[in-house]
Amino acid sequence: MTKVGIIGAGHLGTIVAEAIKEGKAPECELVGIASRSLGVTPQDLIAKGAQIIVEASKPAALKEMLVPILEAGVSVIPLSTGAFADAEFTEAVKQAARKGGSKVYLPHGAEGAFDLAATYSLVPGAKGTIVQYLIPKEHRSGTYMEEMPVGYRGPALEGFALKPSHLNVVIESAMAIGGFDKAFFEVREPEDGKAGFALELENDYATAVMRACAKPGPNMHTLIAYSAVSMLNRLTQPITF
Ligand SMILES: NC(=O)c1ccc[n+]([C@@H]2O[C@H](COP(=O)([O-])OP(=O)(O)OC[C@H]3O[C@@H](n4cnc5c(N)ncnc54)[C@H](O)[C@@H]3O)[C@@H](O)[C@H]2O)c1
C-alpha cells in the first residue's frame, strides 16, 4: 500500500480523503490530513511515512510548502496549480524534485486530455487553447463568471491573470500543451447553451478537441478532486495507462 497524505481539509481535500476511505484508490492508504485548525503540518504527514501528498489548500500555501516536501523525497499532486504561473517558483520546484528524487504530478482536471496535449506538443506547429464556455448572464450563478470578459482571447498567462483564484485549469493545461508560449485562453458563449471548459489542440499533423460540459446541480470543479484520485491510481496500480 502506498501511504498518502492530504494538505487542506476544505471542499476538495475532503472529497479526496473520502474517496480514499471508500476504496476508490485501492492501492493507497490515507495517513493523515494537514490542517491548520487541527494543528497537523505537512512535516507530520512525512513523519507518518507519506509517500505521496495531495495538496488542496491555496496557491500561496503550496508555494511555501512544496520545495521542502519534495526535498524530503515525497511526491506531490497539487491542486493549487496556479502557483506554477510563477516561473521562479517552478524552477525551484524542479531543482527540489531532482534533489529529493521526488516528482510533481499535475492532475488532469475536469476536462483532461493532458496525455493528448503532451503528445501533440512534440510535433511542429503545436499550440493549444483553453476555452471557458459561459452561458448568458441571466442563467449564470456565482460571481466570477460575471467578471469574465466573453470574447476574450489572449496568451495563457495573461488570461490566467484575469481571475487567478479560479483559473488554475489554464496553468496546468498550458503546461501540458508544452509551455505558456504555445497556450492561449479564450472565453466564449456556447451556441448550444452548455457551460464548461474545452481544450483545443493542434499541430502540423492533426487537430483535437476535448470539451467538458457542466450539468445542473453538482459543481463540475469537484472533478479536479477525483482527477487527483485517478492520478493516485495511475501511480500505484500494477496496470496503468
Ligand atoms: N486545478 C484546478 O483545476 C482547480 C480547480 C478547483 C480548485 N482548485 C484549487 O484547489 C485548492 C483547494 O480548493 P477548495 O475548493 O478545496 O478550497 P477550500 O477553501 O474549500 O479549502 C482549502 C482548505 O485549505 C486550508 N488551508 C489553507 N492554507 C493552508 C495551509 N497553509 N495548511 C493547511 N491547510 C491550509 C484552508 O483552511 C481550507 O480548509 C484551491 O487552491 C483551489 O483554487 C484547483
Grid cell, residue 13, equals: 481535500
- 144: pLDDT strictly greater than 60: no
The ligand 1 atom nearest the CA atom of 107? 1
The residue from 105, 133, 167 where one domain ends is 105
Query: 8 alpha carbon to ligand 1 midpoint, in Å?
Result: 6
Buried b (16+ CB within 10 A) or exposed e, 193-208: eebbbbbbbbbeeeee
- Going by CA atoms, what residue is nearest to atom 12 of ligand 1? 56
Q: Give the sheet arrangement for strand 207-213, strand by strand.
A: 153-155, 183-188, 127-133, 196-202, 207-213
The domain that contains 39 carries what CATH number? 3.40.50.720
- 136: pLDDT strictly greater than 90: no
Measuring CA to CA, which residue among 212, 168, 159 is closest to residue 190?
212
Query: 185 alpha carbon to ligand 1 midpoint, in Å?
Result: 23
Q: Are residues 88 and 28 in the same domain?
A: yes
Give the chain's end-to-end CA distance (angstroms, integer): 19
Please indicate, yes or no, if residue 166 is contained in any of the structural domains: yes
- 142: pLDDT strictly greater than 80: no
Query: 143 alpha carbon to ligand 1 midpoint, in Å?
Result: 18
What is the pTM assigned to this prediction? 0.95
Q: Are residues 100 and 119 in the same domain?
A: no
pLDDT band at residue 212 under the 50/70/90 scheme: very high
Distance CA 215, CA 218 (A): 7
Question: What amino acid is encoded at 137 in this protein?
Answer: K
Q: What is the pLDDT of residue 145?
A: 55
Ligand 1 first shell, C-beta below 6 A: 7-13, 34-36, 56-59, 61, 79-81, 109, 165, 168-169, 172, 221, 224
- HSE at residue 166, side-chain half, CA atoms within 13 A, is 13
Q: Which domain holds residue 60?
A: 2-105
Please indicate, yes or no, if residue 241 is contained in any of the structural domains: no
Query: 194 alpha carbon to ligand 1 midpoint, in Å?
Result: 26
Query: 114 alpha carbon to ligand 1 midpoint, in Å?
Result: 22
- 140: pLDDT strictly greater than 70: no
Q: What is the pLDDT of residue 141?
A: 64
Please indicate, yes or no, if residue 233 is contained in any of the structural domains: no
The domain that contains 189 carries what CATH number? 3.30.360.10
